Amino acid sequence: MIGIENTTFDEMKVGQSARLTRTLTVEDIYLFGVLTGDANPTHYDDLGNEARGQRVRGHAMWGAALVSALLGNELPGSGTVYKKQTIEFVAPVMLGDTLTVTITVVELDAAGGTVTFDCKGINQKGDAAFTGIAVVEAPTEKRRDEPVAGLYVQF
């Protein structure tokens, strides 16, 4: 089984980054809607029209949730506490789009134990879907945890 090992505040460096790549599926759209309670017809009405060539728009926050996955699983990882996120949605994520989400350390605040990350989601065409900043309280103690069975996806 793959373990999840964190990066402590003292181990972090400006410029350090992590990334993941995911493709938006119909299952993602339905599961995200169920998870969040977002029943906005924008995401569901067009599912039946896909055969007529209309593309389906995913939830904008799906991409932002991938930032959370990176922060919690990869960098800093286990023990991270999310403090703040600002995000600008530049373009929609459509069904079948592949996003590469990258987080990069841009600031370390030793007094507060916080790390500021530049965040971006780029689609398969090289276009930005979103940009933003996330601030987290980084863990101070090293941890290695086993992932919850069936939930962890290796990035």
In this prediction, residue 52 carries a pLDDT of: 47
In this prediction, residue 45 carries a pLDDT of: 67
Residue 121 CA to its chain's centroid (Å): 8
- Report mean pLDDT in 10-residue bins for the chain, 155 residues: 81 97 92 88 66 70 94 93 96 93 98 97 97 97 78 51
In this prediction, residue 47 carries a pLDDT of: 60
Structure-token match 């029943």, residue found: 39
Question: How far apart are the C-alpha atoms of 135 and 138, rounded to whole Å?
Answer: 9
What are residue 99's DSSP bridge partners?
22
Q: What angle do CA 134, 154, 130 make, to 5 degrees?
A: 35
In this prediction, residue 107 carries a pLDDT of: 98
Are the C-beta atoms of residues 27 and 95 closer than 8 Å to each other?
no
In this prediction, residue 128 carries a pLDDT of: 97
CATH 3.10.129.10 fits 4-142, yes or no: yes
Q: Is 40 exposed, middle or buried (0-12, 13-18, 19+ CB in 10 A)?
A: exposed
Q: What is the DSSP string of 59-123?
A: PHHHHHHHHHHHHHHTSS-TT-EEEEEEEEE-SPPBTT-EEEEEEEEEEEETTTTEEEEEEEEE-
Segment holding 28, helix H or strand E? helix 26-36
In this prediction, residue 146 carries a pLDDT of: 76
